[in-house]
């Protein structure tokens, strides 16, 4: 009896030998992002080997293998679509890092390659659940364009909004809190800060009451107070 069990065990090992590497959805997503978007050599090699082994089982009408291949293809097609929207035809394109795309709970993630938009809602591709958390939108050159707070798949707040010139050079960074601007940084063509403005206090109608302005990277700036018509009524160097 013992000899029979040993033979069966060895037989199982031999049968499983060479079977394709089974990954969960998160592992597939990470591997395919590095292979299809970042074009990492080792990732592309691993994907090729997995496909070759899966195809052998697909030819035998193995249902598990067929489903596995469908899931791989679905993720690949998702990334292909996102790459086109990101700016595939532009020179000097830079994609988000794997870490940003695969961010865990509580970490900021890249929305373009992690979330999908369906019927006005944003879903996490890996979990298929409505997304809650922070997400970045990046420009084609890798620069942050927007930072957004999501809640139950909807855009809750705009945290940061940057603007660029036609060549992708950063012109301005605008920061928000509860829908209102709290800080603005403007840059020159050398990417040096030419102006910083911090909103310190507002009137009930939303108008700026006090701000702090620094120009050309100076160590000192001006503390300004405005009336309700947005006219400076008091100014002090600090």
Indicate if the pLDDT at residue 8 is higher than 50.
no
Q: Enumerate residues 6+ apart whose C-beta is below 8 A from 38.
A: 95, 98
Average pLDDT rounded to a whole number, residues 96-120:
94
Cβ(161)–Cβ(181) below 8 Å: no
Distance, CA of 142 to CA of 55 (rounded, Å) = 36
Entry pTM: 0.84
Indicate if the pLDDT at residue 9 is higher than 50.
no
Cβ(136)–Cβ(96) below 8 Å: yes
- Assign 227 to helix, strand or coil: coil
- 64-72 contacts, C-beta under 8 A, 24 or more apart: 65/20, 68/20, 68/22, 71/25, 71/28, 72/28, 72/32, 72/47
Per-residue pLDDT at 14: 35
Residue with tokens 């679509």: 81
What is the per-residue pLDDT across 129-152, written as a single tens digit (0 to 9) for each?
A: 999 999 999 999 999 999 999 999
Indicate if the pLDDT at residue 196 is higher than 60.
yes
Q: Enumerate residues 6+ apart whose C-beta is below 8 A from 14.
A: none
Distance, CA of 105 to CA of 10 (rounded, Å) = 42
Per-residue pLDDT at 105: 76
What is the per-residue pLDDT across 164-192, written as a single tens digit (0 to 9) for each?
A: 998 889 999 999 999 999 999 999 999 99
Distance, CA of 115 to CA of 101 (rounded, Å) = 9
Distance, CA of 193 to CA of 187 (rounded, Å) = 5
Least confident stretch, 7-21, 56-70, 85-99: 7-21
Ramachandran sector of residue 217 (left: φ over 0; alpha: ψ -120 to 50; beta: rest): left
């Amino acid at each position: 009896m013992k000899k029979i069990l040993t033979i069966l065990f060895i037989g199982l090992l031999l049968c499983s030998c060479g079977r394709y590497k089974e990954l969960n959805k998160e592992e597939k997503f990470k591997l395919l992002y590095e292979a299809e978007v970042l074009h990492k050599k080792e990732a592309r090699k691993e994907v090729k080997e997995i496909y070759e082994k899966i195809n052998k089982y697909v030819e035998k009408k193995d249902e598990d293998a067929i489903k596995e291949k469908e899931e791989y293809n679905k993720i690949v097609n998702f990334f292909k679509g996102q790459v086109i929207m990101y700016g595939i035809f532009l020179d000097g394109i830079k994609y988000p890092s794997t870490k940003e795309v695969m961010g865990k709970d509580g970490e900021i993630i890249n929305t373009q390659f992690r979330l999908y938009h369906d019927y006005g809602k944003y879903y996490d591709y890996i979990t298929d659940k409505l997304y809650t958390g922070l997400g970045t939108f990046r420009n084609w050159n890798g620069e942050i364009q927007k930072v957004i707070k999501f809640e139950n798949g909807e855009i809750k707040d705009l945290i940061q909004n940057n603007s660029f010139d036609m060549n992708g050079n950063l012109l301005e960074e605008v920061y928000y809190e509860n829908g209102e601007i709290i800080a603005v940084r403007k840059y020159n063509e050398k990417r040096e800060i030419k102006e910083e403005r911090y909103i310190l206090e507002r009137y009930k109608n939303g108008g700026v009451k006090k701000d702090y302005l620094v120009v050309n990277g100076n160590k000192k700036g001006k503390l300004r107070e405005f009336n309700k018509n947005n006219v400076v009524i008091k100014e002090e160097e600090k």
